[in-house]
Amino acid sequence: MDIDFSLVLVCLVGACGALWLLDSLWIKKYRLRAVADYKATQAKGMTDDKVAQHVAVLSQEPMIIEYAKSFFPVLLIVLMLRSFLVEPFQIPTGSMIPTLEVGDFILVNKFAYGVRLPVIGTKIFDVAEPERGDVMVFIPPHVDSYYIKRVIGLPGDTIRYEDKRLFINGELISEDFVEEIDIDTNLGPLAGTLHTEIINGVEHATQHITAVNRQRSRTTWVIPNGNYFMMGDNRDNSADSREWGTVPEKDIVGRAIAVWMHKDPGLNLPTFSRNQRIK
């Protein structure tokens, strides 16, 4: 299971806010009482500078309260930005190659498909629905982890994928051959082909491994209401809706909009050479 940073932020904001509130309602009055008692019993005859020093010490907030008050607004702003506007993600696998590479850091628009409460994911209000061709971050039905794939099928669509050909509602989605390439796999580099594909006006690259022609037992899917069919652009090296089924609307996270940084695995410095809008 991936670390849920939204949950971590909610806990931190809640803890800092609770400490701030506890200090305001209860702890602070003991500091004020200590200052008043000092002035009434011990401050007589002392110089003003000496009294001010003692009052400053007695009025000093505990370090944990001071940190809580300092971090609360910063953490709250970060939580609001990540939960309702834009959240960063890192691409861990090659299922979206050539569109997205392993090590890409991307920005995900959390507002695109509706505003949801952090952690629990309950939608507050709608903004728009996913469209064919969108690159979307979601939680798949078989594992509690963030996945990123391309939206291929909408509710009510009939999707067929057979012999490396994609059909949407009976219409063949053509791919234009670009060039022959080598594709990295667990077995090492294999010969493959690079193509361009257009879905709903969105032109993007796809790739296929020449030697792989795995025929799945199921080739046709009718998408239920409130669900979406997802596929990776690395068509022969992607675990997607062809294996684990459709994605319910409630498990949508947001739409991927841009690559803002890239870092190759290992001891490599990040680069910004791949900065681009995702399409």
- Select from 236, 158, 154 the least CA-distant residue to 192: 236
Write the CA distances from 88 to 5, 73, 232, 256, 278, integer angstroms. Answer: 11, 20, 20, 9, 14
Q: How far is CA 161 from the centre of its chain?
A: 28
- Give Cβ neighbours of residue 232 (< 8 Å, ≥ 6 apart): 95, 96, 149, 150, 238, 239, 240
Amino acid 271 reads T
Contact predicate 256/136, CB 8 Å: yes
Active-site entry in 6, 83, 110, 149: 149
Q: Is 95 labeled as catalytic in the residue annotation? A: yes
- Select from 162, 101, 163, 166 the least CA-distant residue to 132: 166
- Give Cβ neighbours of residue 149 (< 8 Å, ≥ 6 apart): 95, 96, 135, 136, 138, 230, 231, 232, 238, 240, 241
For tokens 């809640």, name the residue: 14
Active-site entry in 83, 95, 238, 241: 95
Beta strands at 227-231 and 276-277: parallel, antiparallel or unpaired: unpaired
Q: Just list the catalytic residues.
A: 95, 149
